[in-house]
Chains A and B, each alone.
Chain A
């Protein structure tokens, strides 16, 4: 029967799925319970956190490495190099952040092209490591979206990356 409505909130809120989804959910729950019951649980949980903690440490170290490297890097003009690495996009961040980062990346690519080869490789590799770390955190967050610690880690890592990218972009201008 096709009801006639005068308000949007009169629409049905409950629309049952066409098939029973419980068997698949139940199977996943049983698998989760079985995994959780495998001893030693505490050690397994610690182990699960180790990669994330490692990534967090890597983000900090790489960012510091980029900043220190740039402080001592000699600024020498070299011909532009076409194949400088590019980095993935942080899809979980707001559009304004993504736009700002995209604009910054263009400037950073130009800056990398003008760096001496050794220095360019070092900085590009550090930035790529930083991006990989963020991708790992983002993937972990995809599996556990409600995890406040991961959310915080993700945001601070993105901020760290923005600081590192800004430092790379501004590295030549400070000395001129």
Chain B
């Protein structure tokens, strides 16, 4: 495991958005105890696109969930812009998710009883200064699918609705858990383009989980995770555009 100081050379300038130190997580799954994280140190900086790369079960989703305030750490500290998330109350975490974080999940997690525009509206209804749902769907190229129900959309379209739902509140950070995991390559590239555009145009800090090494080429930094710990951190000198990628 590497000390945070050793990464100094790779680190962009400015205060980190996230600062995690010694994060551990143990949870029970049925009758089994799972050590998902075994002491993770991590910094994420404003505007960067980081890919968390690792095989399934490596703990990357757990880490992302803790950063997003969806889950609580068993030990260690996580700071978001100087505030300690690990000490936040349930109410503060809700407020944090509502104001600052946008999520994209592998299985889209759209609400099946709501149309595309309504799925986005679920979030804009409670956000402070959201963009109109139609505009968010426009950014992901779905202006002509506004009133379709999830069941009437392809997987790629559903995931783009999920991205629109995440960006519509203009979040400071976006956390994407295997956003292309359930998609074929061509559709996956369309989704990654949408994410890359959001990162570029809205300057949103973005952490993206994948087990696909090819996708890592679009990142500013690549953090490799295995067995609940960070294995290595590398910096891409040249980011590839999603269009240039293949897998």
The answer to whether A and B assemble together is no
A contact set with B: CB distance below 8 Å: none
B contact set with A: CB distance below 8 Å: none
